[in-house]
Structure 1
C-alpha cells in the first residue's frame, strides 16, 4: 500500500517540475492578440513558420517564410536587435520556435495567439 503512495508522490513531483519548466520557458515570450500583433508590422521581423505551400496559399503581408522543418538551420538569419513576430497555423509551433530563439539570446519575441487561422487582416497570396 505504501508503494502506490510513493509512486503518486513521484508522479506529482514530475508534473510540478514540468509545469514550472513550461512556465519558465514562456517568460519573455509575448502572446499577442490579432490587434496587438498587427500594429507595427513594418518595424519587425515577421516570420511565418508554416511550410512553403501553406505560405504561398496565403500569408500576412510582409512575412518571410521560415518553415519549422528547417527553422533550426535558418534561425541564425534572425536579428537580435529587431523585434521578432512569429506565427503559424494555430500558435503552438510558433511557441516552440520562440523558445529556440530565446535560448539563442533573443529578447523581444512575440507570437500571434491562435495563429493565422483566426487572422482577419490583410493576406497576400500568389493568386492575389
Structure 2
C-alpha cells in the first residue's frame, strides 16, 4: 500500500498541486473540518460509491487517524484504483481546513 505523510500532502497543496482527496470519515466528523477540496465518502459507503471514481486518477485517502483510510486504500487498491493512504490522518493535519 502506498502511503504519504500529512506533511507531504500539505506540501503538495502549498505548491498548488491539484489533489484528489477522499475523506472516509463519517459526515459528523467531516463537519468539524476537512481538507479543502476533499470529497466525503464515509468508509461504509466506499464499496457502493466506487463507481463514481476514475481508475486513471490518483486519490489520497484520509480519515481521522489513518486506520480507516488504510482499510479504504487497501479495498480500493484491490479493485484496481490508484490510491495512497495519508498516514496520521486529520489528527496530525496542521494545514488549512474548511
Normalising by the residue count of structure 1, what TM-score does the alignment of the two structures yield? 0.69
Unpaired segments of 5 or more residues in structure 2? none
Measure, in 2, the Cα distance between the counterparts of 1:91 and 1:85. Answer: 11
1:81 has 2:53 as partner? no
The root-mean-square deviation of aligned C-alpha atoms, in Å, is 1.5
Q: 1:28-67, aligned counterparts within 5 Å?
A: 29-38=1-10, 39-40=12-13, 42-67=17-42
Moved over 2 A (4+): 40-44
Unpaired segments of 5 or more residues in structure 1? 1-28
Counterpart of 1:123 in structure 2 is 97
1:95 has 2:35 as partner? no
Residues 36-65 of structure 1: CA distance to partner in whole angstroms, max 9, x if unpaired? 122147523210000111111110011000
Query: Bigger relative contact order, structure 1 or 2, given CA contacts below 8 A and separation 6+?
Result: 2
Of Structure 1 and Structure 2, which has the larger fraction of its residues in helix? 1
The number of equivalent residue pairs is 95
Residues 69-121 of structure 1: CA distance to partner in whole angstroms, max 9, x if unpaired? 211101121111111100100001111111111111113x2111111111000
